[in-house]
Chains A and B, each alone.
Chain A
Amino acid sequence: QQQVKQSPQSLIVQKGGIPIINCAYENTAFDYFPWYQQFPGKGPALLIAIRPDVSEKKEGRFTISFNKSAKQFSLHIMDSQPGDSATYFCAASIRGGSNYKLTFGKGTLLTVNP
């Protein structure tokens, strides 16, 4: 059973566009939602994260929007650049528990054309 569903699987935008990646979760106990960025052949790197007590968080050109009632969250990349071309993963976990297991979405391959 996939607990975090991510869409779209792939996305192509032009430079300056605003790609949006969506994730939906099922487990209402999740209370931490990070996004990771991965370049080919490299390990994922934490990009931005949000807790469910806020509806939006911005870090530079990256914004997470969170809708607790719909159990959905999304990543927006403002003024996208070719260097943003990578695979993006959303994830979710329960931080208050005795362990810290991340459940990942299947990823979105983003291509930003010049």
Chain B
Amino acid sequence: DGGITQSPKYLFRKEGQNVTLSCEQNLNHDAMYWYRQDPGQGLRLIYYSQIVNDFQKGDIAEGYSVSREKKESFPLTVTSAQKNPTAFYLCASSWTSGEQFFGPGTRLTVL
């Protein structure tokens, strides 16, 4: 069953904690992306990676970090430096210059 999986579905973070969101794909896509979605704001790009061991900042990278050690995996860490992390986080993947396919999302809430 091919696709993109994100875990966990719901995540709660205390003030000052770092948390890591998982994204895995078995579509053999080269590129992977992280977006943040807030009500009325659309999707905003946090980070993207076109190849293993390489990634670039998107429009709102401050307070986030990523790694791309494997083609299938692109985890996102929300650090304590991110002042307003409560949001719906979406991971996507694509062939280079291909259609982007999205995962089911992780809803992060700060307690």
Contact = CB atoms under 8 A, between A and B. Distances in A.
A70 B60 CA distance: 29
B6 to A, nearest CB: 8
Contacts of B104: 42-43
Given A9-B40, A100-B97, A44 B48 contact: no
Interface residues of A, number: 24
Count chain B CB atoms within 10 A of each CB in A36, A44, A95, A107 and give the residue with the most: A44
B11 interface: no
Could you say which of A9, A49, A100 has the most chain B C-beta atoms within 10 Å of its C-beta?
A100
B98 interface: yes
Contacts of B82: none
B41 A106 contact: yes
A104 to B, nearest CB: 4
Nearest to B103: A43
Interface string B76-96: 000000000000001010101
Given A43-B90, A99-B50, 19 more contacts: A9-B40, A41-B105, A41-B107, A43-B4, A43-B92, A44-B43, A44-B102, A45-B102, A46-B101, A89-B42, A89-B43, A100-B31, A100-B96, A101-B58, A102-B43, A104-B42, A106-B42, A107-B40, A107-B42
